[in-house]
Each structure stands twice: as structure tokens, then as C-alpha cells.
């Protein structure tokens, strides 16, 4: 009351809302008027932001929170009435005829696609101090994830336009950032000329954090570092839908004739090898929602794609998050829970959170929901009475929960690909990765980089090159297969057919070799490589690479992740590349 005169009419409104919502405790420790007045105004700026960035405002946030906290206290099962079963989807095998024809269809569709990267997460599990999209996907060329994604998008749209006989239109590329990643993402783009994209094409949408909750009444938590602020935490990648909706971009895209929105995550170096074919599946099967999936090892930290059938007859195909799959199975007649079957994998395909949404039905749905996604809460209680929390909690949401509000008529499908060609994220720090049970993927910087060489080697093998077998090596306590370090620019080889068309005769690559293809029109013919070969080429120049290349090459030199004299992005992978000798061709 005493501070009311400081406030603008809008701020008085916000104060009233807070009081009506039972949040008077937020003002309990406020100083007399004249003391900390600027901080008090800043408090209301924050409240205004929290109120406007959440669909339905703070009132809606608190109401939902009370409901979810009550459910959680009661121990209510979020899957009550649902029985899980294994859904059917499109299963693709890289390189076979059906894959090739889906790829062809996907490339044709790509000119009608917009691309959305969710990159607001800091990646606590990885413990890297920078932003994850700035990490090198591989250190042979040092290409970071963001550069690799942008180059793939450019190459894909270019190829698609070429087939359609069109010249380039604006390529819509959105990055969702957060306060944790925004500034550094802008700096990365600006200091690298947007990696070849027009700056006007890259749209950054920053997600806001949400208010933390102190108790089951959903009393908002005061920031422990500043009594004039509400404590906030990330709301999760599900925010991307509300942000896209409120930005107005979806309507613009629709008006521009676009048909697809592709969502992807921050550190998967293989992802775009799977995109053309999956987009082809979306177009052919007319899926409104298509999730990319890979065979999943039981208990692996990726959600399981599941059909949930309710006792009332409703049914949906949805991701069940990895921590919920096991209890759901145990509660519904599968006493062993989340286990591998005779194939050595969980029967539920693993969601890699690469989603392809059909724009028309997406807009239709979002105009009903404003992009709000079903949320959840995960409080850590002090004891079994579930009356108080160990630390404040908040509501969270996930982008893959989008189909939960869709009508039963929605066509929700998925596309399963081999892991080696589709999924190799960088999520775990070296210590945790080294503890991963044998046979399960490490998901570390080490395994992420090795997976790129492996995939490229296997693709070239399928295309007819004699690529040597890998050697086993241990880096940062993780046993990995080290394949020849083969990399190429996306514009060289976007699809399997394109790659095959650039390889002729008897080509071979020895285990210790490195091959870097930088040009577009590079043709390998009877190449025998034992060492390092870098092929540079100007945009349109045609380069034939023939004959034998032999030199000392580049070697991998182990480094210890604890050695802080080595840059962080190198030591988290446990090796550095020692560039001894190479041949360059132009």
C-alpha cells in the first residue's frame, strides 16, 4: 500500500493481480517508500514480462500450477486410464530403394520448409561453459553445430529450388534462444557472417523463464539473491510453439506457400542425413506430425514413442519421456518395465525430438491453443507428507507434447532410422559418459564426433568406396570406434543418390586417413587414400580427384579432460588432431 504512488496504472493492475492470486508474501519484505524504489519498479517490469510471456498470463500459470501440484501430491498417475502399446510407423533403411525415393521426394518438398532450432538449453549435463551450438561437431574441420545446420539448410533449399527450376526465396530459419544463450548465439552468428545465410533470414525468438513455486499453494518464490525479484527457471523446449505463434511467423510462412516446419535440437551432428527422407515420408504419408526416431536401448535417456489407448477409446501416438516409461509399463501389465526385447532394443522407438509438422494443421491447432503445451511439474518433496519442497519448482513443457491436444483425426506418425545415420547428440560430460553401461551410447563430445566419421565412412562404403574397418580406441575413459576421418560440405552430398553419383571406379581409404571435401562438384575416381587429403574447390569448379595419395596424415593425440591447459571444447572429447602432413587438391 505504502509504495502504490510509485507505480504506473499498469503496475497497480499487476499488483492487484498478484494480491488476488494469493501472492502478498512477495511484498512482505519491501522497504519503506524512498528506499530501493528503482528495484521495486524493476520488480514490476519483471512481473509484466512474466505475465505477458505466458499464454493466459500469471493467473493462468498459477491456476495450472495449483492443479498440477495437487495431482502430484495425490500421486495421481498422468497416464491414468491409458494402456501403452508399440505403434507402427515408417521404418527406413539407409540407401535402399524406398529410402532413396523418400529422399528424392523430401528434397523436392524442402523448398516449402521452414527450419526451427531450439537452442535455449544450457546443457547442464554436459557442463560446457559456452553455448552448445558453438561446439565443433567435429574437430577435423572445426565446423560448429550451428554452421553445420545452416550449411545443410542452405544446401537443401538450393537443391530443392534447382529441381523446381526456381531461384532462391527467403529461407526461414528460426533459433529459439533463452537468457542463457541469446547474446552468445547472436555473437556467434555475427562474427561468422551468419555462416552464409542472409542475416534477415535468421530470426531469433528468445524464450522467457517462468516463475518458481515455493509450495503446493503455488506461492511464487522470491529470488534468493534479490528480494525484489521472483526466482525464475527455464520452462522447457515446449515454449517454441507459443513463441512461433505469437511472433506471427507461422502466418507469414503460410502466406508464402510454405507447407512444413522442421524442429531440431542443438547438438546432433547426424541429423540432416535423416531429414530429406523423413520429409519425404511426411509428404507421402500426409502426416500432420512426424517424429524422427531411432531404435532405443531400454533406459536410454530418450523418450519412447508409444501408442496410448484410453479405456474410453481415445488413442494417441506420443512420446513418453524416459523417466516415465518404466513406471508406466510396470503399472500396466509389464512387470519388467522398460527392458530390451529379443532384438536387444526396447520395443518402443526412441524419440530424437526432430519433428516435422504440417503447417496448415499446425496453425489451425495453435489458433485454438495459442501454442500452449500440456505442462508438468516435478517437485522434489522434503518428506512423504509432500507438504514442502527441498527447493523451489516450476512448470515445464516439452515440444514433443504438441500432439497431446490434437483431435483424434490428426495423422500422427513417426519415421524410424538407423541410429548411425540419424542420432549422435552431445549431452554428457566425460565423467558421466565413462559411467554409461556398456552397450549404451555415451552421448558425449567424443562419441558425437566419432559418430560423424562413422556415418560418413558407412555412407561412402554403401556408395562403393572400400573404407577400412575402424580401430578401437579409448578417449576420456570411453571405448570408441575410430573410423577414417571423412567429412564433406553438405552441398557436396546432401542425399545418398547425389553422393553415389560423385564416386566412380575403385576408391579406397585406409584406417588412418582423413578426407575433407570442401567443394561442391568434386568427383572421386579410382582414389587410393592413405594419409590426409583436402579437396578445395571454388563454387562451380569441377574437380576430379584420382590416383594415389600417401602422406603422414593427421593423427589423434589423446588429451585428458582434466588438463585445463587444453581448450575446453577439445579436452571434453579427449583427443586433439595433430596435423602432420596433408595433400591439398583444387
Residues binding ligand GDU (CB under 6 A)? 118-121, 176, 178, 207, 234-237, 265-266, 301-303, 319, 321, 351-353, 398, 400, 425, 427
Q: How far, in Å, CA of 30 to CA of 48, rounded?
A: 18
Rg value, the chain, Cα: 26
Q: How far, in Å, CA of 161 to CA of 166, rounded?
A: 5
Where would I find the beta strands (DSSP E) of 140-288? 173-178, 202-207, 210-211, 213-215, 232-233, 260-264
In angstroms, give the least distance from the CB of 198 to ligand GDU: 24
Let me know how many helices (H) and strands (E) the chain has, helices first. 16, 30
In angstroms, give the least distance from the CB of 91 to ligand GDU: 18
Of 176 and 281, nearer to ligand GDU (C-beta) is: 176
Of 120 and 519, nearer to ligand GDU (C-beta) is: 120
Of 401 and 530, nearer to ligand GDU (C-beta) is: 401
Backbone angles phi, psi at 166, to 5 degrees: -110, 160
In angstroms, give the least distance from the CB of 498 to ligand GDU: 27
Of 118 and 373, nearer to ligand GDU (C-beta) is: 118
Of 241 and 485, nearer to ligand GDU (C-beta) is: 241
In angstroms, give the least distance from the CB of 318 to ligand GDU: 11
In angstroms, give the least distance from the CB of 204 to ligand GDU: 12
Of 353 and 444, nearer to ligand GDU (C-beta) is: 353
Q: How far, in Å, CA of 353 to CA of 570, rounded?
A: 27
CA distances 377 to 66, 180, 330, 371, Å, are: 10, 22, 21, 18
In angstroms, give the least distance from the CB of 301 to ligand GDU: 6
Q: How far, in Å, CA of 118 to CA of 207, rounded?
A: 10
Of 89 and 236, nearer to ligand GDU (C-beta) is: 236
Of 26 and 424, nearer to ligand GDU (C-beta) is: 424
In angstroms, give the least distance from the CB of 413 to ligand GDU: 16
Of 249 and 486, nearer to ligand GDU (C-beta) is: 249
Q: How far, in Å, CA of 236 to CA of 423, rounded?
A: 21
Asked if residue 347 lies in contact with residue 296, where contact means CB atoms within 8 angstroms, the answer is no
Of 39 and 180, nearer to ligand GDU (C-beta) is: 180
Q: How far, in Å, CA of 180 to CA of 122, rounded?
A: 7
Helix (H, G, I), strand (E, B) or coil at 276: helix
- HSE value, Cβ hemisphere, 13 Å, CA-based, for 135: 30
Of 143 and 353, nearer to ligand GDU (C-beta) is: 353
In angstroms, give the least distance from the CB of 304 to ligand GDU: 8
In angstroms, give the least distance from the CB of 348 to ligand GDU: 11
Of 90 and 208, nearer to ligand GDU (C-beta) is: 208
In angstroms, give the least distance from the CB of 474 to ligand GDU: 25
Backbone angles phi, psi at 341, to 5 degrees: -100, -165
Asked if residue 176 lies in contact with residue 117, where contact means CB atoms within 8 angstroms, the answer is yes
Degrees, nearest 5: CA angle 261-264-269: 135
Residue 65 has which C-alpha cell? Answer: 500450477
Closest by alpha carbon to 396, among 374, 371, 366? 374
Buried b or exposed e, range 385-407, using 16+ CB within 10 angstroms:
eeeebeebbbbbbbbbbbbeebe
Of 293 and 524, nearer to ligand GDU (C-beta) is: 293
In angstroms, give the least distance from the CB of 425 to ligand GDU: 5
In angstroms, give the least distance from the CB of 233 to ligand GDU: 9
DSSP class of 167 = -
In angstroms, give the least distance from the CB of 243 to ligand GDU: 10
Closest by alpha carbon to 265, among 316, 235, 297, 302? 302
Backbone angles phi, psi at 41, to 5 degrees: -65, -40
Q: CB neighbours of 194 closer than 8 A, spacing ≥ 6?
A: 150, 201, 202
Asked if residue 36 lies in contact with residue 64, where contact means CB atoms within 8 angstroms, the answer is no
Amino acid at each position: 500500500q505504502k509504495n502504490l504512488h510509485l507505480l504506473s496504472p499498469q503496475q497497480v493492475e499487476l499488483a492487484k493481480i498478484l494480491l488476488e492470486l494469493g501472492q502478498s508474501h512477495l511484498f512482505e519484505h519491501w522497504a519503506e517508500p524512498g528506499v530501493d524504489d528503482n528495484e521495486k519498479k524493476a520488480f514490476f517490469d519483471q512481473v509484466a514480462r512474466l505475465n505477458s510471456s505466458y499464454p493466459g498470463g500469471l493467473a493462468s500459470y498459477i491456476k495450472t500450477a495449483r492443479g498440477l501440484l495437487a495431482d502430484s501430491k495425490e500421486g495421481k498417475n498422468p497416464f491414468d486410464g491409458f494402456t501403452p502399446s508399440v505403434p507402427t510407423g515408417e521404418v527406413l533403411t539407409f540407401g535402399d530403394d524406398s529410402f532413396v525415393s523418400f529422399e528424392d521426394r523430401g528434397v523436392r518438398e524442402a523448398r516449402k520448409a521452414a527450419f526451427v532450432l531450439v537452442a535455449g538449453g544450457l546443457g547442464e549435463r554436459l557442463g560446457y561453459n559456452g553455448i552448445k551450438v558453438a561446439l565443433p561437431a567435429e574437430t577435423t574441420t572445426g565446423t560448429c553445430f550451428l554452421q553445420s545446420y545452416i550449411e545443410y539448410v542452405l544446401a537443401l533449399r538450393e537443391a530443392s529450388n534447382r529441381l523446381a527450376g526456381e531461384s532462391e526465396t527467403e529461407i526461414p530459419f528460426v533459433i529459439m534462444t533463452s537468457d542463457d544463450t541469446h547474446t552468445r548465439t547472436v555473437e556467434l552468428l555475427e562474427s561468422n557472417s551468419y555462416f552464409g545465410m542472409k542475416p534477415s533470414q535468421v530470426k531469433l525468438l528468445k524464450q522467457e523463464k517462468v516463475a518458481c513455486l515455493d509450495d503446493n499453494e503455488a506461492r511464487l518464490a522470491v529470488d534468493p539473491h534479490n528480494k525484489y525479484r521472483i526466482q525464475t527457471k527455464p520452462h522447457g523446449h515446449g515454449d517454441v510453439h507459443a513463441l512461433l505463434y505469437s511472433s506471427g511467423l507461422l502466418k507469414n510462412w503460410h502466406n508464402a506457400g510454405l507447407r512444413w516446419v522442421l524442429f531440431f535440437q542443438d547438438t546432433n551432428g547426424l541429423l540432416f542425413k535423416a531429414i530429406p527422407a523423413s520429409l519425404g515420408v511426411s509428404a507421402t504419408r500426409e502426416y500432420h506430425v512426424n517424429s524422427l526416431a531411432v531404435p532405443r536401448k531400454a533406459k536410454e535417456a530418450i523418450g519412447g514413442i508409444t501408442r496410448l489407448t484410453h479405456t474410453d477409446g481415445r488413442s494417441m501416438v506420443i512420446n513418453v519421456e524416459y523417466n516415465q516409461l518404466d513406471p508406466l509399463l510396470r503399472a500396466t501389465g509389464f512387470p519388467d518395465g522398460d527392458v530390451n526385447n529379443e532384438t536387444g532394443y526396447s520395443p518402443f522407438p526412441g524419440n530424437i525430438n526432430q519433428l516435422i509438422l504440417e503447417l496448415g494443421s499446425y496453425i489451425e491447432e495453435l489458433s485454438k491453443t495459442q501454442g500452449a503445451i500440456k505442462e508438468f511439474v516435478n517437485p522434489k518433496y522434503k518428506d512423504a507428507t509432500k507438504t514442502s519442497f527441498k527447493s523451489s519448482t516450476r512448470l515445464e513443457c516439452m515440444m514433443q507434447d504438441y500432439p497431446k491436444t490434437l483431435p483424434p483425426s490428426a495423422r500422427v506418425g513417426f519415421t524410424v532410422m538407423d541410429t548411425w545415420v540419424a542420432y549422435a547428440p552431445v549431452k554428457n560430460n566425460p565423467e558421466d559418459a565413462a559411467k554409461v553401461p556398456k552397450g549404451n551410447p555415451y552421448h558425449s563430445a567424443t562419441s558425437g564426433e566419432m559418430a560423424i566419421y562413422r556415418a560418413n565412412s558407412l555412407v561412402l562404403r554403401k556408395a562403393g568406396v572400400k573404407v577400412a574397418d575402424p580401430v578401437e580406441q579409448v578417449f576420456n575413459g570411453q571405448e570408441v570406434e575410430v573410423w577414417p576421418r571423412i567429412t564433406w560440405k553438405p552441398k557436396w552430398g546432401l542425399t545418398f543418390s547425389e553422393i553415389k553419383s560423385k564416386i566412380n571406379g575403385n576408391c579406397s581409404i585406409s584406417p588412418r586417413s582423413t578426407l575433407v571435401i570442401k567443394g561442391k562438384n568434386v568427383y572421386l575416381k579410382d582414389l587410393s587414400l592413405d594419409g590426409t587429403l583436402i579437396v578445395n574447390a571454388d563454387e562451380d569448379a569441377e574437380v576430379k580427384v584420382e590416383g594415389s595419395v600417401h602422406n603422414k596424415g593427421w593423427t589423434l593425440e589423446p588429451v585428458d579432460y582434466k588438463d585445463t591447459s587444453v581448450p575446453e571444447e577439445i579436452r571434453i572429447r579427449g583427443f586433439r588432431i595433430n596435423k602432420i602432413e596433408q595433400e591439398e587438391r583444387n
